[in-house]
Amino acid sequence: MILLLALMPGSLQAAAGSRADRRFVELYEREWIWRQAEFPLLAASVADPAEVRTLGEVDSRSQSRRLKYWQDVHRQLEKIDARALSPKHRVDAAVYRAQLEELIAGIESRVWLLPMNSDSSFWGDLAQGMSAQRLRTVAEAEAYLARLADLPRFFEQHRVLLDEGLRTGMTVQQIVLDGREQPIKDLAEQAADATPYFQPFRALPSTWPDSERERLSGLAREVISKQVQPAYQSLHSYLADTYIPAARKTLGAYALPDGESFYQHQIKIYTTLDLAPEAIHDIGLAEVARILAEMEVVKQDAGFDGDLAAFIAFLRTDPQFYASSPRALLERASYIAKRVDGLLPRYFGHLPRQPYGVEPVPASIAPFYTAGRYVPGSMDAQQSGTYWVNTFKLEARPLYALPALTLHEAVPGHHLQGAIASEADSLPPFRRYSYISAYGEGWALYTEYLGKEMGIYETPYEHFGRLTYEMWRACRLVVDTGVHAKGWTREQARTYLGEHTALSLHEVNTEVDRYISWPGQALSYKLGEIEIRKLRGEAERALGDKFDLRGFHDRILGLGSVPLPVLRNEIEAWIRDQSGKR
């Protein structure tokens, strides 16, 4: 059934296309089938979860096998004449080529030896992903239990990789790992039915017989207590006693084996651009200077008598800018989200069917987590998207930044983008179920700017919140390249981010650790947003009165997640089409 679901859409396209189209569709269909077999959790999310009973392989032999396979697929793709493809498949092939090159670069740079950072981890991501699964049939529940029983083997393979990283110097920085092992210990010591892994069994269909629900819930408690939790306990001991004490003391990616090449790989993966660290650093400095001038204007609009540093100190400490309870913060976020919902038809012609909800960041990860995040849903799995708001340490969650956060993580940012892509049946699966950071984060940051046109920011403080979020992303260009190419210290990075934004000091610290341990990812936001705003400006100048903002937005979102060079090509074609110049 997995194979049939993966094969049908492309096969119909191939039957009607040119010989080049058929070769291309046949190539990506075979690879997509293979990819689902290699990555069972992907198959569980896009096909039939009842058939997936393993968590997959992460060992070095599997990495080598995947590298050879993807290199061969890439060679076959290069043999197909792009000029002979239909217009639609030319775009598909450009996206597919970039995707293959990213997958190949990820293995060649040995990033798989770093399966965690200060923001996320293989154990945390697995718990979050499995806790969100909906068990609709007994077969799905039994397959879920089989995947749970496979967790000790999966963790052991990761431990072997971490050992290899210790031997070769390819480790996460010790300085950002302090305390990250505590949530592992907490999960290992919880009651089995209090762990995230038991969550799906709390929502078993009420139509099932009580005896069946009790049987499956009992099996879940047994697997969690006898296999999952001991694996977490073992992982905690390994990290606390072996890995963290021996992890590298250096900070920058340049200090890794072949570090300069590794960092350049990460830049290309996350930005889809061939930019040198120095060029990115300079772009960041220019953006910081521009935004700083705008901040001064907003500070004056707020009537504040003092310099920018004093204004930022005021914003960080005055109680009026902070929620009194987690519920109050969630209610404010929900109110902002519904205000935006009501305005969407003015700015978008096509809206998705899938809804979204607002929930707190899970307590197990909240202390080290960012202010908010979007968790995709699935109509097939009967799950809405979720806008997570971090309610830990309320004095670090300013209300003046909440409109920008909501626009970015919910609508018209990540939810709108992700839901539209998931409902685009005409896109091949490798596009529907992929995420390119420069496109996705660039779009979400662009929507923070769009919120200004939408009238979402109601006070000078909220306008300053938008600017501090934009400044935050501009500072990332400076800090990320500073740490990973220029030898900046952790304290230098914290000082730079703290002096240029109104982020709370708690957020400054967690963000800097994220950039230290996740090279390149933070560059995608501002570089993507700069390109989208640049393209909009070019469209407005070229089309004049013919420019349709709703059409522009629909074209960007209708493409799905694409590399920035592909985005440029397609928007330039859209401009020509709208102007009547072909």
pLDDT digits (tens, 9 = 90+) for 84-129: 999 999 999 999 999 999 999 999 999 999 999 988 999 999 998 9
pLDDT digits (tens, 9 = 90+) for 416-433: 999 999 898 889 999 988
| Sign for the pseudo-dihedral over CA of 546, 552, 554, 560 | positive
**Quick check: helix, strand or coil at residue 360?**
strand
Of 152-166, 268-282, 351-365, 476-490, which gets the smallest average pLDDT?
Answer: 351-365
List the chain domain ranges: 1-38+59-114, 116-249, 263-528
Mean pLDDT of 402-419: 96
Whole-number pLDDT of residue 5:
29
Close Cβ partners of 446 (under 8 Å, ≥ 6 residues apart): 528, 529, 532, 533
Query: Per-residue pLDDT for 144 more than 80?
Result: yes
Residue 358 DSSP one-character state: E
Left (φ > 0), alpha (ψ -120 to 50) or beta: where does 362 sit? beta
Query: Per-residue pLDDT for 21 more than 80?
Result: yes
Query: Per-residue pLDDT for 14 more than 50?
Result: no
Query: Per-residue pLDDT for 469 more than 60?
Result: yes
Query: Per-residue pLDDT for 4 more than 50?
Result: no
Nearest to 480 by CA among 238, 279, 206: 279
Please, which pLDDT band fits residue 17 given cuts at 50, 70 and 90?
low
Residue 308, judged by CB atoms within 10 A of its CB (0-12, 13-18, 19+), counts as: middle
One-letter amino acid for residue 368 of the chain: F
Measured over all CA atoms, what is the biggest interatomic distance in the chain, rounded to whole angstroms? 70
Residue 119 DSSP one-character state: S
Nearest to 370 by CA among 115, 117, 183, 119: 119
Angstrom distance (rounded) from CA 498 to CA 511: 11
Angstrom distance (rounded) from CA 124 to CA 159: 15
Whole-number pLDDT of residue 582:
64
Mean pLDDT of 566-576: 97
Close Cβ partners of 222 (under 8 Å, ≥ 6 residues apart): 192
Q: In Å, what is the CA distance from 201 to each residue of 54, 142, 213, 378, 566?
A: 19, 11, 8, 19, 43
Percent residues over pLDDT 70 in the chain: 97
Q: Show the tokens assigned to 368.
A: 């080290």
Query: Per-residue pLDDT for 448 more than 50?
Result: yes
Mean pLDDT of 442-460: 98
Whole-number pLDDT of residue 189:
97
Query: Per-residue pLDDT for 265 more than 90?
Result: yes
Query: Per-residue pLDDT for 3 more than 80?
Result: no
Whole-number pLDDT of residue 151:
98
Check residues 352 and 378 and name the one with the higher pLDDT: 352
Please say whether the beta carbons of 405 and 335 come within 8 A: no
Whole-number pLDDT of residue 332:
98
3-state helix, strand, coil in the chain (%, to 5): 70, 5, 25
Please, which pLDDT band fits residue 382 given cuts at 50, 70 and 90?
confident
Whole-number pLDDT of residue 18:
86
Residue 290 Cα to chain centre, angstroms: 27
Q: In Å, what is the CA distance from 177 to each residue of 39, 82, 234, 308, 525?
A: 27, 46, 17, 33, 25
Q: DSSP for 438-492?
A: HHHHHHHHHHHHHHHHHT---SHHHHHHHHHHHHHHHHHHHHHHHHHHS---HHH
Query: Per-residue pLDDT for 11 more than 70?
Result: no
Share the mean pLDDT of the chain.
Answer: 94
**Quick check: helix, strand or coil at residue 242?**
helix
Whole-number pLDDT of residue 13:
43
Angstrom distance (rounded) from CA 100 to CA 436: 12
Angstrom distance (rounded) from CA 244 to CA 173: 9
Query: Per-residue pLDDT for 7 more than 60?
Result: no
Mean pLDDT of 326-345: 98
pLDDT digits (tens, 9 = 90+) for 486-532: 999 999 999 999 999 888 888 899 999 999 999 999 999 999 999 99
Query: Per-residue pLDDT for 397 more than 80?
Result: yes
Query: Per-residue pLDDT for 12 more than 70?
Result: no
Angstrom distance (rounded) from CA 71 to CA 227: 37
Q: DSSP for 175-235?
A: GG-TTTTHHHHHHHHS-GGGSGGGGGGGG--TTS-HHHHHHHHHHHHHHIIIIIHHHHHHH
Please, which pLDDT band fits residue 381 given cuts at 50, 70 and 90?
low
Whole-number pLDDT of residue 542:
97
Residue count of the chain: 582
From the CB of residue 279, how many other CB atoms can be counted at a distance below 10 Å? 14
Query: Per-residue pLDDT for 349 more than 50?
Result: yes
Query: Per-residue pLDDT for 179 more than 90?
Result: no
Please, which pLDDT band fits residue 15 given cuts at 50, 70 and 90?
very low
Mean pLDDT of 190-216: 96
Whole-number pLDDT of residue 96:
97
Left (φ > 0), alpha (ψ -120 to 50) or beta: where does 17 sit? beta
Please say whether the beta carbons of 48 and 6 come within 8 A: no
Query: Per-residue pLDDT for 333 more than 60?
Result: yes
Query: Per-residue pLDDT for 16 more than 70?
Result: no
Q: What angle do CA 384, 389, 392 make, to 5 degrees?
A: 140
Angstrom distance (rounded) from CA 295 to CA 300: 9
Please say whether the beta carbons of 392 and 366 come within 8 A: yes
Mean pLDDT of 289-304: 97
One-letter amino acid for residue 276 of the chain: A
Whole-number pLDDT of residue 9:
40
Q: DSSP for 70-105?
A: HHHHHHHHHTS-GGGS-HHHHHHHHHHHHHHHHHHH
Q: Show the tokens assigned to 311.
A: 């204004």
Close Cβ partners of 155 (under 8 Å, ≥ 6 residues apart): 123, 231, 232, 234, 235
Please say whether the beta carbons of 168 and 257 come within 8 A: yes
Q: DSSP for 392-444?
A: SSGGGSBGGGHHHHHHHHSTTTHHHHHHHHHT-TTS-HHHHT---HHHHHHHH
Taking each continuous run of H as one helix and of E as one strand, the counts in the chain are 26, 3
